[in-house]
Structure 1
């Protein structure tokens, strides 16, 4: 399937105008009221303003409308990677996927990254800057590492298990490299990308019946899961911590999960939260770090999933960033806030300890 922009009907295109107007109204309201923020809201007025825009845009527009107005992952990579000081290097993978290097492909360690966005949004400029900063900071700590970022086909152009198949192809490409020690390979993912990272780990331990098995000798070095979307329920109970302090709302759960699942039933690959302890214990990774934002609506699910990993998998750790939103290490950069998030600091220190 081509990764071209989504095709919209005339009515869907026409609806973008009132949708954009509603975003402007929400942003204006946030700007006017943002001076009186609580601890349940963003740390700065800039972030409060940006959260409101993203929250309204994702709630008001359909996945296809968002795909229509936003640049694709490949376009974003090609536009921005050189500005980070790294050479553009892309690889065509199987099943229409592609992988993009940030850093030296011959680095000792490779972090395979699966981007989020509910399987419906392309990676944005925040990702490229996040990857580049992470690679540079780790190099300063004496660690040789490169990021290999997957571009997969967005839903609903393809549905589950297509994206999981593409995610496996990225892992296969890296793990099949000559003389590549699996312990120098790490998985990373945020939100839906965290779900994909878990899906690949599940496939390696319990091969998906529709995807070619991927077996390794031993375990990969570890996995970093930023706010993994581990449970695809359409509704989440209102949480006391939530009061406009996140970039997403409950309104995105049903359309985004539905676009990804299509007609497929949910299973342990789509909902790792529901997997048995025995299933999770078989994840072929040495260590797992789970992070979440203190103000995000998925935090209770993230916390419960991390506890399940601790109880079954064992070598798992949870870190929560104070007053941070969903996927703050990346979306703060996209919103032009370059101050390092608590989650970002934790991820960097954790990788410094784990990388070879």
Structure 2
């Protein structure tokens, strides 16, 4: 396989900051961010020590909290590598570390453009030999590009599970557009286009798993909604049978910030009430609030509980929701599971809560390049599908 994307997609190009924006960014980097990192890092270290929690994971949480709470979306996208750049960097590092030649064959750069929606699929694994495929939608509050840790956890949980189960698995990693440059329903339109490409490539719905973390979990729910109740601006998807499964890792499902999990964990999670309010304001500025018959915005599944939820079993067979017991978004994932259970949709819903985890433990383990408890649990669930 080879890199088929000779011309970068617009969503892989960094923002062009004005002179004033550059001066401000330098000032924040030199005089604000270091102090914030020291203060938040010390607080999170103390919290981890007091509660006998994983120190590296909580220091990582502190870093992400400072990044999201100190810099604007355009500044974050300037500082961080794009999703495509992160993909290339991860592949190069992984190829150096992996000695098994059969595994190295699954680490070839393979970028499939989706020109109609100005996006692309970044493949992890061999899509030409795959019998099962995972459409992965990354998190980051719609402002952060994907990082190497996303590809690492996808490799560990899905591709390696396939190798261990003698079933070839590939991950179709969507590079979607970020706010504030992209307006809704851009991300849904790109996700729908990616799923259409998988179906055109010959994958049956029973061979496809869809999922994502945080904001990516939000897009995954929007995609399931779209399958049942088509959005006028996204490619229509006609399934002959439900998708094999879907998963939501620490999903962002509502803009409310007053639930008990927000109030209890505001000071010790990588996300905070202030950060979520900021992300929600940015989303509201750039989202067209498409409303279903029952009301509610498409990007807020907990508020958009129309008739489509009762038909969820026509879109997917199984749904796995994972949350951290110490994260602000915990109540949202739990509320979705409770709602689906009450509706008796016919979908096999699994809710898992790790009592010591903060937000997005699955990806945090990938960033730290470790196969931890979240990855192991995801592997066990995924292997049960193969």
TM-score by length of 2: 0.84
Q: Match for residue 99 of structure 2?
A: none
Q: 1:92 aligns with which of 82, 98, 113?
A: 113
Counterpart selection for 1:293 from 304, 309, 324: 324
Q: Which has the higher contact order (CA 8 A, sep 6+)?
A: 1
CA displacement at 1:307 relative to structure 2: 1.3
Q: 1:14 to 1:352 in 2, by over 3 A?
A: same
Check whether the contact 2:153–2:365 (CA below 8 A) recurs between aligned residues.
Answer: no
Distance, in Å, in 2 between the alignment partners of 1:136 and 1:87 is 15
Shift of 1:110: 0.2
Change (3 A) 1:263 1:175: closer
Query: What is the number of equivalent residue pairs in this alignment?
Result: 351
Q: Distance in 2 between matches of 1:103 and 1:156?
A: 31
**Cα distance, 1:308 vs structure 2:** 1.3
- Give how far 1:287 is off: 0.3
Please name the residue that 1:159 is paired with.
Answer: 183
Equivalent pair of 1:30/1:48 in contact (CA under 8 Å):
no
Taking the aligned partners of 2:90 and 2:45, their CA distance within structure 1 comes to: 33
Q: Rate the CA distance shift 1:338–1:109 in 2: closer, same or farther, 3 A.
A: same
Q: CA deviation at 1:191?
A: 0.9
User: C-alpha separation between the residues in 2 aligned to 1:42 and 1:116?
Assistant: 27
CA 1:40/1:182 → structure 2, altered by over 3 Å: closer, same or farther? farther
Q: 1:183 corresponds to which residue?
A: 206
User: Which residue of 255, 273, 279 maps to 2:308?
Assistant: 279
CA displacement at 1:277 relative to structure 2: 5.8
Q: Is the 8 A contact 1:294 1:322 kept in 2?
A: yes
Q: Secondary structure at the match of 1:354?
A: coil
Which one of 46, 49, 59 corresponds to residue 56 of structure 2? 46
Q: Give yes or no for contact 2:48–2:54 (8 Å, CA) kept in 1.
A: no
Q: Secondary structure at the match of 1:29?
A: helix
2:150 is aligned to 127
Secondary structure at the residue paired with 1:147? strand
* Residue of structure 1 equivalent to 2:21: 12
TM-superposed deviation, 1:36: 3.9
1:38 deviates by: 5.4
The Cα shift of 1:354 comes to 1.5
Tell me the distance in 2 between the aligned counterparts of 1:19 and 1:238. 33
Which residue is equivalent to 1:62?
Answer: 72
Distance (whole Å) between structure 2 residues aligned to residue 230 and residue 183 of structure 1: 26
Distance 1:215 1:353 in 2: 26
Structure 1 unaligned regions, length at least 5: none
Alpha-carbon RMSD across the aligned residues, in angstroms, is 2.2
In the alignment, the residues of structure 1 paired with residue 111 and residue 60 of structure 2 have an alpha-carbon distance, to the nearest angstrom, of 31
Partner of 2:334, secondary structure, is helix
State TM-score, norm by structure 1.
0.91
Please list every run of at least 4 consecutive aligned residues from structure 1 whose deviation after the TM superposition is greater than 4 angstroms: 30-35, 38-42
Q: Would you say the 8 A contact 2:193–2:235 is kept in 1?
A: no
Distance 1:237 1:25, change over 3 A: farther
Q: Deviations over 1:156-186 (max 9, x none)?
A: 11110011101101111001223x2210001
Structure 2 Cα separation of the partners of residues 6 and 54 of structure 1 = 20
Query: Could you say which residue in structure 2 is the equivalent of 1:109?
Result: 132
Cα distance, 1:66 vs structure 2:
0.4
Alignment partners' CA distance in 2, 1:7 and 1:254 = 25
Distance in 2 between residues matched to 1:245 and 1:147, nearest whole Å = 32
Give the Cα separation in 2 of the matches to 1:121 and 1:33: 24
For 2:49 and 2:217, the matched residues in 1 are separated by: 27
**What CA distance in whole angstroms lies between the structure 2 residues aligned with 1:34 and 1:82?**
32
Contact 1:26 1:52 in 2 (8 A): no
Cα pair distance change 1:40/1:184, threshold 3 Å: farther
Query: Which residue is equivalent to 1:338?
Result: 370
Q: Which residue of 1 aligns with 2:3?
A: none
SS in 1 for 2:173: strand
Q: Is the 8 A contact 1:42 1:323 kept in 2?
A: no
Q: Which runs of 5+ in 2 are unaligned?
A: 1-8, 95-103, 292-296
Residue of structure 1 equivalent to 2:90: 80
Q: Kindly provide the CA deviation profile for residues 63-101 of structure 1, in whole angstroms up to 9, marking residues without a partner as x.
A: 111011111001111122243331111100131010011
In the TM superposition, 1:302-321 aligns within 5 A as 302-312=333-343, 313=345, 314-321=347-354
